[in-house]
Amino acid sequence: MKLLRLLANLGYGSRREMAQALRAGRVHDDQGVPLHPDSDIAHSRIRFDGQPLDPPQGMLLMLHKPGGVTCSHAGPGPLVHDLLPPRFARRRPPVASVGRLDRDTSGLLLLTDDGALLHRLTAPRSHVPKLYEAVLAQDLRGDEAALFASGSLTLKSDETPLAPAQLQVLGPRRARLVLHEGRYHQVRRMFAAVGNHVESLHRVAIGGLQLDGLEPGAWRLLDDADRAQLFAEPPAGTTATGRTMRP
């Protein structure tokens, strides 16, 4: 791809701005040699204002979404895109969140410009497990794990029952839940169905991938090892049997 188009697609600026940047000598190779609009050079060797370029198409990143931030490109803020470099919002193809977290939910959110990966992670048949931790307004009754694991619970205004989900009780009002699908407000609606209310909700893991100390509001690019983790099992402690486990 021509350098001008590459830089514009990565969101560094419009083609006109990138033509100016090239004329002004802001784009070099890794040896400091200025590049021109037709330069044919490996992505990894290009420097913009002395910095390596953002990854090419196929970028995947994780964000520790804080509560109170909306998963959307537009609307009343703050938005998850406000936590990322502004050029990411100008990339073509666009960077989209992999599914959504409610405004009040915190935790692991993936964003990518890789349409095939997005589909693989969000398609109804993908079944990549997502692990949530919920703090509840009332004590658990004791029958929730069996009900959630039964595959027979149909939520209000849904037509089909939920896929079996695994509940791990951490305390009287604290639980972890592994879902294999992603319905609207699913965790909150599941606890509402058993007469409870979710006071706070945090996504701990997607597949085997966890935040691992990433601070709220921070993000990092994911590499091939992280991608492999995505398709691994969630962290130990939650069985696939739906049995309630007490620590």
What are 231's two structure tokens?
Answer: 């398709």
- Helix, strand, coil proportions of the chain in percent (round to 5)? 25, 25, 55
Give the binding range for ligand URA (CB under 6 A) out of 11-19, 98-106, 145-153, 233-241: 98-106
Task: Give the DSSP letter of residue 213.
Answer: T
Spatial neighbors of 52 by CB under 8 A, at least 6 apart, are 44, 46
DSSP-assigned beta bridge partners for residue 17: none
* CB closer to ligand URA out of 7 and 101: 101
Give the binding range for ligand URA (CB under 6 A) out of 9-17, 145-153, 180-188, 211-219: 180-188
Q: Does 9 bind ligand URA (CB under 6 A)?
A: no
Q: Does 188 bind ligand URA (CB under 6 A)?
A: yes
Give the binding range for ligand URA (CB under 6 A) out of 10-18, 97-105, 135-143, 231-239: 97-105
CA nearest to 192, candidates 144, 244, 128, 123: 144
Has 82 been annotated as catalytic?
no
Q: Applying CB under 6 A, which of residues 70, 97, 106, 186 lies at the interface with ligand URA? A: 186
Active-site pick, 29, 38, 54, 102: 102
Contact 183, 73 (CB under 8 A): no
Q: Which residues of the shown chain bind ligand URA in the complex (CB under 6 A)?
A: 101-102, 105, 185-188, 201
